[in-house]
Structure 1
Amino acid sequence: MPLIRPLKTLIAAGALSLLAVGPALAESAVELRGTGDLGVVIERATGSVALVDTTHKTVLKNIEGFGDLSHASVKFTRDARHAFVFGRDGGLTRLDLLTGEIDGRIIQGGNSIGGAISQDGRYVAVGNYEPGGVKVFDVETMELVVDVPATYKKADGTTDQAKVVGVVDVPGNMFVFSLFEAGEIWTLDMSTEEHEVTRYRDIGSMPYDALITANGRYYIAGLFGEDGMALLDLWHPEKGVQRILPDYGRGEERLPVYKMPHLEGWAMAGSQAFFPAVGRNEVLVADTRDWSLTQRIEVHGQPIFVMSRPDEQQVWVTFAHPNNDRVQVIDTRTHEVIETLSPGESILHKEFTPRGEHIWISARDSGHVVVYDTRTFEELARLPAESPSGIFFTHRAHRIGL
């Protein structure tokens, strides 16, 4: 059917308009791509992050303006478009992964340790050392939704605010976290307007970090003040907190602890859990059916991150100073160390690609990130970075607790 003249005129005019603004649009347009193969590497010395492409093993852009990243963590929004960076200076910074630009930043506290994004993607929670507590913000507007001071009663009857550690998201639109000085675990329910807080007291001395199992059932806090761990079964919270592995180091002299292990990097493999021993050159193995200790595996140094490859056939271990120049690989079937790698000086963090074929490892004092094939242990790439530490890929957006 022939076009009538007025419509032809409109189309022609529109085409001319597009031609006229085309270059400007091209310069400002976001590249048409998914975010599934993107990630960020924290560059702690410069307060910057490197935006990386995990498929092509390249650095796309170095972005500044994140403040103090001497201890930093990252969470991704539900759509994996944005990364929230939690900084040591209390900064909460939102990075647009497609534009490579910061599009929101607030100083919400004095010292932040990390955070989580809720199951429905609406809220981002920040755990604070100063002042102790949790603040929850709207992901879109970055406006404060709820402020939960971690107030507790001390032995002398006075009150104080505890440092908050181990903030994770759990099903039911809830956050769970631990109070270091108080020896407590709290849950914060964001599914109702009341934002109800439930407290579990006397869980053990000095919970220093925590994890949530992949199915969101078990929240486990490590205890620095004593041997053992505290477990909260979120399917049966009425049972309270259970102590597990209470005797794994009793009566033994610990080594000096140079850096606390990160329990977020626990390795789960079938009915086994692999986790770092505090103050010992060991990876511990527990049976998750009854949480009994079944084996100790001697390793290169004091473990910091003990992480499972997605197929659960391998566990990769990094270590604390002064033995932090190695990475060891444990076979989860034989419990033997099958490979020792030397990616560089001061190994701080590692991250598997979503299906585990590659692993990225940061070497802070060597100023690079090394990518390995996890099957052959072949080095695939070595990327420059400014004092790299944490590595975070967008597949975390779709996993509980990450």
Structure 2
Amino acid sequence: MRIALHKTCLSTLVAVVLLAVIAPADAEQAEALYQAECAACHGETRLGGIGPALLPGNLSRLTPEAAEAVIRHGRPASQMPAFGETLDDAAIATLAEWIYRPPVVEPRWTQQDILASQVVAHPDGSLPDVPLFDADPLNLFIVVETGDHHASLLDGDTFERIHRFETRYALHGGPKYTPDGRHVFFGSRDGWITKYDIYNMEVVAEVRAGINMRNIAVSADGRYVMAANYLPHSLVLFDAHNLDLMKVYPVVGEDGESSRVSAVYAAPPRGSFIAALKDLEEVWEIPWPLPTEPVVSTGHMATPLEKRRGHDTPNFQVRRIPVPDYLDDFFFDLEYDHVIGASRGGQGGMVVNLDSGEKVADLPLEGMPHLGSGITWEHEGRRVMATPHLTRAAVSIIDMTDWTVIKTLETDGPGFFMRSHANSPYVWVDVFFGPNRDRVHIIDKASLEIVETLIPAPGKTAAHVEFDRYGEKLLLSVWEEEGAVIVYDGDTLEEEQRIPMSKPSGKYNVWNKTRYEEGTSH
């Protein structure tokens, strides 16, 4: 759980705490203050926005005492600052008590709400099948600019901006492409899924899957979209064509306890979606329909037909996989045989075989490993994975043959993103948290050593690398309101170009994301 209270909202929240005891006129003033200062962060009715919903159902794994600690000390990997030097204990306790109060009206988002929210701009699919621009459709980049809620479409060969368009507020989880690269799906914190036709540069459909959504996943054949919700506690399945609702899955354990969904992932070799649950010690696997004819294997990845052999779970039915602990941050091996998971509140990680459901290894990874940004490569004939840590200035490198930590690299601060490419000799990792957030380390894949540290914009956050489809050029963000995307040569590490952008939080190359390129998060 991430409580993302902004300092400008603090006086407002203190005022709102008094709503139950103050006079109606004062309550109206407090409400107006909340709407003016805080609604942009947490929604008009505390249902979430750029920060999560501040509702009791979203705080089930956080005790009031722990909530006080978060308010006092802040929280890593979030926008939640520390208030211990500006608030006394009584004020902190009051705030912690307030967020556990149920809202006056219980928030709900039903199947009928989902159906009513759907908007289809081109139901007949009449848009032309030929791009309106002259660029390689598989080497395009989508750049998400969170500063003013836009996205830019870049030519991956020339890095010219083809188009810039408005997006929903607070996109989260990264856009997902159809295999041909024509359509891209965006998911927002407040539950909206947007289908965008890249060829024609138009929105073709939208639907709201929930109130507080974590991310979306698209099946490998591009036919289905699944949304993972914090609120309500659900997974929601859509037909990708017009975002027609197919099924709502209440996420409930066998004992009746419900759970938020941390994230949902597509597992192409398995032909399934895999969901990480926040409040249940389970992983859910939901298969999609497979081709009736055998699929030809490509590269190292087994086909879905091969991976599903021996599993008789019907299409779109949940297969529950019990795990020894909560796993709300995931990494997969290349074959999707194993999930490497960690809990935000736990120490270390574990490796679970997805076929047997058995834990096969524990990983001694202290400092909140950010497994979702992990990558792999071949090193001396063995595949290794590497992950940054959210609360430790280190990168851990793990031998995936026996799941041992073979090296720990000390960095200039905790990091958030790692990236590479099969054709690149280097791994790039940022120093997202702390005073050295303007630095980026470059790790040599052969020596497993940091060989270069860049400072692209002194004093400004540098983060999130994405390579082009060939691994020759890469983009890095200056993560500021008046920021930029910097183009680097992947071999010489020389800067070639800066493209001004408004807080470019992430770049997503069509080829890398649809071909599950080595070195790119999936």
Normalised by the length of structure 2, the TM-score is: 0.64
2:360 is matched with which residue?
A: 242
Q: Match for residue 46 of structure 1?
A: 148
Question: What secondary structure sits across from 1:171 in the alignment?
Answer: helix
Greater share of residues in helix: 2
1:320 partnered with 2:432: yes
CA contact (8 A) 2:438 2:462 kept: yes
Alignment partner, residue 13 of structure 1: none
Task: State the AA in 1 paired with 2:147.
Answer: A
Which of residues 220, 225, 244 in structure 2 aligns to 1:143? Answer: 244
Residue number in structure 2 paired with 1:3: none
Contact 2:329/2:372 (8 A) holds in 1: yes
Asked if the contact 1:228–1:243 (Cα under 8 Å) also holds between the matched residues in 2, the reply is no
The match for 2:421 among 300, 304, 309 is 309
Q: Does 1:398 align with 2:515?
A: yes
Equivalent residue, structure 1, for 2:8: none
Of 308-317 and 181-190, more deviation after overlay is shown by 308-317
* CA gap 1:185/1:230 in 2 versus in 1, 3 angstroms: farther
Please state whether the residue corresponding to 1:178 is helix, strand or coil. strand
**Contact 1:223–1:230 under 8 Å retained in 2:** no
Unmatched 5+ residue regions in structure 1? 1-25
Q: What is the aligned residue count?
A: 361
- Pick 1 or 2: higher relative contact order, CA cutoff 8 A, min separation 6: 1
Whether 1:37 and 2:37 are equivalent positions in the alignment is: no
Alignment of 1:112-261 (within 5 A): 112-152=213-253, 159-191=257-289, 194-205=315-326, 207-234=327-354, 237-245=355-363, 247-249=364-366, 261=370
For residues 203 and 213 of structure 2, the distance between their equivalents in structure 1, rounded to whole angstroms, comes to 19
Check the 8 A contact 1:50/1:59 in 2, yes or no.
yes
For 1:72 and 1:282, locate their aligned partners in 2 and report how far apart those are by CA, in whole Å: 24
Question: CA RMSD, aligned part only?
Answer: 2.5
Q: Does 1:290 align with 2:402?
A: yes
Looking at structure 2, the residues matched to 397 and 139 of structure 1 have their Cα atoms a distance apart, in angstroms, of 16
Report the residue type matching 1:211 in the other structure: F
What 5-or-longer segments of structure 2 have no aligned partner? 1-127, 291-313
Measured against aligned partners, the alpha-carbon deviations of 1:111-153 in whole angstroms (never above 9, x if no partner) come to 2222221122211112222222321211112111222222236
Contact kept? 1:51, 1:100, Cα under 8 Å: no
Whole-angstrom distance in 1 between the partners of 2:351 and 2:495: 38
Q: In the alignment, does 2:471 pair up with 1:356? A: yes
Q: Is the 8 A contact 2:138 2:180 kept in 1?
A: no
The residue correspondences of 1:56-135 to structure 2 (distance < 5 A) are: 56-64=158-166, 66-69=167-170, 71-135=172-236
Aligned partners of 1:36 and 1:158: how far apart in 2? 45
SS at match of 1:36: helix
Matched with 1:269 is: 378
- Shift of the 29–349 alpha-carbon distance from structure 1 to 2, 3 Å rule, reads closer
Query: Secondary structure, in 3 states, of the residue corresponding to 2:412?
Result: coil
Amino acid at match of 1:122: R
**Aligned mates of 1:32, 1:359 — CA distance in 2:** 21
Letter in 2 for 1:313: P
1:283–1:352 CA distance, 2 compared to 1 (3 A): same
C-alpha distance in 2 between matches for 1:89 and 1:105:
13
Say whether residues 1:339 and 2:452 are aligned partners: yes
The amino acid of 1:350's aligned partner reads V
Letter of the structure 1 residue corresponding to residue 360 of structure 2: Q
Question: Structure 1 pair 308/37, CA: closer, same or farther in 2 (3 Å)?
Answer: closer
Could you tell me how far 1:341 is from its partner in structure 2? Answer: 1.3
Between the aligned partners of 2:356 and 2:215, the Cα distance in structure 1 is 28
Return the alpha-carbon distance in structure 1 between the equivalents of residues 131 and 331 of structure 2.
Answer: 40
The question of whether the paired residues in 2 share the 8 Å contact of 1:170 and 1:176 is answered with no
8 Å contact kept, 2:374–2:386? no
Say if 1:42 and 1:72, in contact at 8 Å, map to a contact too: no
Distance 1:121 1:213 in 2: 22
> Does the 8 Å contact 1:324/1:347 carry over to 2?
yes
Residues 242 and 130 of structure 1, relative CA distance in 2, 3 Å threshold: farther
Q: What amino acid sits opposite 2:319 in the alignment?
A: T
With over 3 angstroms needed to count, the CA separation of the structure-2 counterparts of 1:158 and 1:146, relative to structure 1, is closer
Partner amino acid, structure 1, of 2:495 = E
d(CA) in 2 for partners of 1:357, 1:33: 17
Secondary structure of 1:159 counterpart: coil
Runs of 4+ with deviation above 4 angstroms: none
CA contact (8 A) 2:418 2:464 kept: no
Tell me, in whole angstroms, the C-alpha distance in 2 between the residues paired with 1:349 and 1:56: 20
User: CA shift at 1:76, angstroms?
Assistant: 0.4
* Structure 1 position 309, deviation (Å): 2.8
Residue 333 of structure 1, CA deviation: 1.6
- Work out whether 1:280 is the aligned partner of 2:392: yes
Instruction: Determine the C-alpha separation between the residues in 2 that align with 1:168 and 1:243.
Output: 23
Say which structure is richer in strand. 1
Alpha-carbon distance between aligned partners in 2 of 1:224 and 1:164, rounded to the nearest angstrom: 11
Report SS of the residue matched to 1:329.
Answer: strand
**One-letter identity of the residue aligned with 1:47:** H
Mean CA deviation greater in 144-153 or 382-391: 144-153
| CA–CA distance in structure 2, aligned partners of residues 33 and 359 of structure 1 | 17
More moved, 114-123 vs 305-314: 305-314
Equivalent residue of 1:285, what SS? Answer: strand
Aligned partners of 1:313 and 1:332 also within 8 Å = yes
Aligned to 1:299: 411
* 2:424–2:490 CA contact under 8 A, matched in 1: no
